[in-house]
Amino acid sequence: EAQVTQNPRYLITVTGKKLTVTCSQNMNHEYMSWYRQDPGLGLRQIYYSMNVEVTDKGDVPEGYKVSRKEKRNFPLILESPSPNQTSLYFCASRGTGIGNYGYTFGSGTRLTVV
């Protein structure tokens, strides 16, 4: 089954403790992206990647890092989480060929930073 898999689904952590949220897709998609969803703000893009070793900032990149060492994986790294990063996070991927309009989203990771 074609899918984007995020882990963990839920995470509670303390301020300053480094964490990584993993994202993996099995569709050989070139493009991958991270979003955060906050009440009243909708979804905002954090980082995106056009292909292996190619990443760039989205609208709200502060406090986050990403890497794209393999095509299928796009982890989101919070080096020193803070309470304002408490949010619902989604990873998404998309092919770049003609007709590839659809984005596939993961099921989300609900992060709480205390």
**Using the rule CB under 8 A, which residue among 61, 72, 77, 103 binds other proteins?**
103
User: Applying CB under 8 A, does 52 fall inside the site for other proteins?
Assistant: no
The torsion angle over the Cα atoms of residues 9, 12, 15 and 19, rounded to 10 degrees, is: -40
User: Applying CB under 8 A, does 102 fall inside the site for other proteins?
Assistant: yes
What's the rounded Cα separation, in Å, for the pair 95 and 40?
29
User: Applying CB under 8 A, does 20 fall inside the site for other proteins?
Assistant: no
Q: How far is the CB of 14 from other proteins (least distance, A)?
A: 25
Residue 21 · residue 6 · CB < 8 Å: yes
How many residues of this chain bind other proteins (CB under 8 A)? Answer: 24
Residue 23 · residue 6 · CB < 8 Å: yes
Residues 60 to 99 in contact with other proteins, rule: CB under 8 A = 90, 92, 94, 96
Cβ-proximal residues to 84 (8 Å cutoff; 6+ apart), any chain = 113
Angle at 87 between CA 44 and CA 17, to 5 degrees: 120
Q: How far is the CB of 79 from other proteins (least distance, A)?
A: 24
Q: Which is nearer to other proteins, 9 or 17 (CB)?
A: 9
Which residues here bind other proteins, judged by CB under 8 A? Answer: 4, 31, 33, 35, 40-45, 48, 50, 58, 90, 92, 94, 96, 101-103, 105-108
